[in-house]
Amino acid sequence: MRRLLFTLLFSVFLVGCTSGTAGQIDTGEENTLNVAYMAQPPSLDPHLTVAVATSEIGRNTFETLLSFNEQNEVAPLLAESFESSDDEKSITFHLRKGVKFHNGKEMTADDVVASMERWKLLNGKAQIYFADSKFVKEDDYTVILKMDKPLTIAKYILAMNVNFAAIMPEEVIENAGELGVTEYIGTGPFKFVDWKQDQYIQFEKNEDYQSTSAEIDGLVGKKEPLVDRLKIHMVPDTSTRTAGVQTGEYDIALNIPTDNYEQISKDPNLEAVIFPDGFTTAVFNNREGVFVDKKRRQAVNLAVKKEDVLVTAYTREEFYMLEHGIVGKDYVAWHNDQGKDVYENHDPDAAKELLKETGYNGETVRILTTRDYDDQYQAAIVVQQQLEEIGMEVELLVYDWPTLMEVREDPSTYDIMIMAYNPVTDPTQLNFLDSRTNYTGWTNDPNMDALIDDLLVAENDEAAKEVFSQMQAEFWDYLPAVKFGDYSGIAVTHGDVTGFDHIHGAVLWNVAK
């Protein structure tokens, strides 16, 4: 199985959701793929919410103009091809011909323009970067994105996997209300059938699915619905998901705890699919308190042995990787070696000297964490112990997750926040880099802000990568946060399931029983 990054953990924006009126599917038949999923989506309208559950489930029905290949490079999906203008102020999309929606209508430029203009109003990044841009129909199979200024990262925003730019029929877009579209009709490999709240969402094979003939390449290339029915079961309890895949009640179970890996690996009926799932950090409060002084942030980076954090949080080498890059190595368009020496430098004695230089006098360092995510809590314990070893007074502030999300918005409440993040597809999604996002931690680095602006208007991809190299070097100098490393997740398949992969989420097409 390929070991690729999962798409980005975002917060759930609660909105209403709709249910279909189609008849029930007999789920007892052999050609039904039963999947145990961990969360109920608020909606299946990808334009409307940043909920990962919406995106991961919804992409079986909806598709985008662009997506990511196996190297995490942007590639065409519903577009046959695309090209940027020399001044990077427009992108022309040549649409695939003969692609049909689930209602039998052929997809044309009118549907794409209607979909993209609605998405542009609802997606947070699009609101920022495409506010004064327009999607324009040139002919039935050509759409142009005309931007008011150059934007090198535009294609990454258009291909993003969460709150994604789903293409729907023009009439479905026109009938959408504040609570979302009233029909879930896309071009994807599975058709929406019905949704029983808190129990399951059902799909059926799209017999008329139009796939490209290209080889499977990440989320693009050949896509086939190889089962007649797809049933996503809402199973929030991890032990229930684990037991269900062991008994064969579920063919696939997602988000299985790493503690269960040894038991799973010994079961001949099960296969564990391990995939990079995110990265773990300590985010500093840069606005007030102990770590306004950069030398103290540098002292933390020197004091904490990153592998100790990862071993404690993730237990086995299969589930973590020492990685300095703030956009990981699987993203070849961005990965570079800047800051690697700073990342690898573990020197508690030098950390003590830096603290002495800053006049540190026993002020309490408050580390914000939660037991709701055990990896974050275990990481916090290691950071506490190793900071105490260099002479710091450290207190753990432990909250449930919803309370932590509130507390972290107050700069008077904490000094370090232990936080795990899902990987991003472009550097501008790293909110802790940009002071203008007012993201918790409140970084204040004019040099980084200027580099982000340079990245947005870079002349081409190579120029953008060079700017990002400078950004990563600045990250490891200014240290708005310390990255400890990357971590992996587990999905499990039962029995004769073949073709399953995990690429920015579960890939349920090209899967057979």
Surface-to-core class of residue 346, CB atoms within 10 Å of its CB (0-12 exposed, 13-18 middle, 19+ buried): middle
**Does some domain include residue 237?**
yes
Among residues 229, 276, 237, 267, which one has the least CA distance to residue 253?
A: 237
Length of the chain (residues): 513
**Does some domain include residue 91?**
yes
Q: Are residues 54 and 126 in the same domain?
A: yes
Q: Are residues 138 and 181 in the same domain?
A: yes
pLDDT of residue 27: 42
Q: Are residues 77 and 160 in the same domain?
A: yes
Q: What are phi and psi of 161, to 5 degrees?
A: -95, -15
Distance CA 140, CA 108 (A): 5
Give residue 295's identity as a one-letter amino acid code: K
CA 8 to chain centre: 1
pLDDT of residue 74: 96
Q: Are residues 218 and 343 in the same domain?
A: no
**Does some domain include residue 171?**
yes
Q: Are residues 166 and 309 in the same domain?
A: no
Q: Are residues 50 and 94 in the same domain?
A: yes
pLDDT of residue 23: 36
Q: Are residues 442 and 475 in the same domain?
A: yes
User: Domain containing 444 — which CATH number?
Assistant: 3.10.105.10
**Does some domain include residue 18?**
no
Distance CA 379, CA 302 (A): 16
Question: Sign (positive/negative) of CA torsion 187, 191, 197, 200?
Answer: negative
pLDDT of residue 19: 37
Q: Which two tokens stand for residue 377?
A: 């809590």
Q: Are residues 176 and 301 in the same domain?
A: no
pLDDT of residue 424: 85
Beta strands in 112-208 (DSSP E): 134-139, 142-146, 190-196, 200-205
Q: Are residues 458 and 503 in the same domain?
A: no
pLDDT tens for the chain, residues 1 to 513: 333 333 333 333 333 333 333 334 444 456 999 999 998 899 999 999 988 899 999 999 999 999 999 999 999 999 999 999 988 899 999 999 999 999 999 999 999 999 999 999 999 889 989 999 999 999 999 999 999 988 989 999 999 999 999 999 999 999 999 899 999 999 999 999 999 999 999 999 999 999 998 999 999 999 999 999 999 999 999 999 999 999 999 999 999 988 899 999 999 999 999 998 999 999 999 999 999 999 999 999 999 999 999 999 999 999 999 999 999 898 988 999 999 999 999 999 999 999 999 999 999 999 999 998 889 999 999 999 999 999 999 999 999 988 999 999 999 999 999 999 988 888 988 989 999 888 999 999 999 999 999 999 898 889 999 999 999 999 999 999 999 999 999 999 998 999 999 999 999 999 999
**Does some domain include residue 58?**
yes
Helix 294-303 × helix 348-358 angle, to 10°: 160
Q: Are residues 49 and 125 in the same domain?
A: yes
**Does some domain include residue 16?**
no
Residue 287: domain span: 276-489
How does strand 90-95 pair with strand 142-146? antiparallel
**Does some domain include residue 391?**
yes
Distance CA 395, CA 275 (A): 33
pLDDT of residue 192: 98
Distance CA 240, CA 259 (A): 15
Q: Are residues 91 and 142 in the same domain?
A: yes
**Does some domain include residue 11?**
no
Q: State the total domains in the chain.
A: 2
pLDDT of residue 194: 97
Q: Are residues 160 and 263 in the same domain?
A: yes
User: Domain containing 133 — which CATH number?
Assistant: 3.40.190.10
Instruction: Check: pTM over 0.85? Answer yes or no.
Output: no
Distances (CA, A) of 371 to 304, 315, 387: 21, 17, 20
